[in-house]
Structure 1
Amino acid sequence: MKTLAGVSAEGRGATDRLLAAVVAQLQVEGIRVAGALRAPLTEGATSHCNSDLHLLPDGPMVRITQELGAGSTACRMDAGALELAVGLATARLASEGAELVVLNKFGLSEAEGRGFRALIAEALSQGVPVLIGVSDAHRAAFSEFAQDLSTTLRPDEDTILAWCRAVISRAAPPVREA
């Protein structure tokens, strides 16, 4: 069974909500999850263009977009903030370990060779499975990155949870009896 999986749900924010629901259920089950999910917009948010990442399992929140002023059409991604989030998530994986890494998406930064790519590679090299959201815009770049090492999951919570449980149980080291 492949330990890297991509998922994409139809509709704005649907993949984010699906991954958040999966992570919430796995955490209830006591699964140690690392990575980052896009935080849902809060009521009264001034812009749907702001993007905050919630680092798993318990924060902090990192804003990865920047205010460029009225009328700006430039990219709002704050590369420094994204790299901070990557560094924090990678350090957490190294210090605390995890049974699963979940990332909100394989986006433009990852498609260009930056972003969470190093964390994905590090997790897989440690035998930690990775679940990641994949948008249509970056599906080809994800396929090129993953080669034949990934599987595509149906955007269904039960299907994703079943995959997570299966790869976690396979990745777990055997329990030694005293």
Structure 2
Amino acid sequence: MDTSDGLHLSQSTYDADILNRVGMSDCKPIESPIPSKTFSVSDCPLASAEAEHFRHLVGSLQYLIITRPDIAYTVNKFCQHMHPPLGDDFKLLKRLIHYIKGALSFGIPIFPGLLELTAYFDSDRAGDPTYHKSTSGYYAFLGETLISWFVKKQIIVARSST
């Protein structure tokens, strides 16, 4: 989509396709992709067919984060719960679908301007309540245009915040 200040990369058609595939094209939109409280832990695994559906949908969302850094952290959390997904994971995934419904036009704006590289990095110290591992992420901008981002759970347990 062309705008007066530059370009706008989005996958709104793909967003709508995901909503149609899961039968939630008429769902009520919400404003946040993840609840403010941490992911709850449930011991109720999904049935085999539901687990396969969960993995397929999370895979579709992984493709979507190419133009949607706003859901990168949440999709990363779902990827950590792929084997075996639990009932609470599926409820949170449906919440993300409600968020996507309200943010169909979101994407990456590309602005003309100075070519100055700026990067931001953050980490939550031992944010995973089960394994006490940290999640790290960064965003890099060239001028006002987001050019790269990354979110990943760290491999080892952090013993210091420095």
* Same fold, TM-score > 0.5, yes or no: no
What's the TM-score, normalizing by structure 2? 0.29
Higher strand fraction (1 or 2): 2
Structure number with larger C-alpha Rg: 2
Higher helix fraction (1 or 2): 1
What's the TM-score, normalizing by structure 1? 0.27
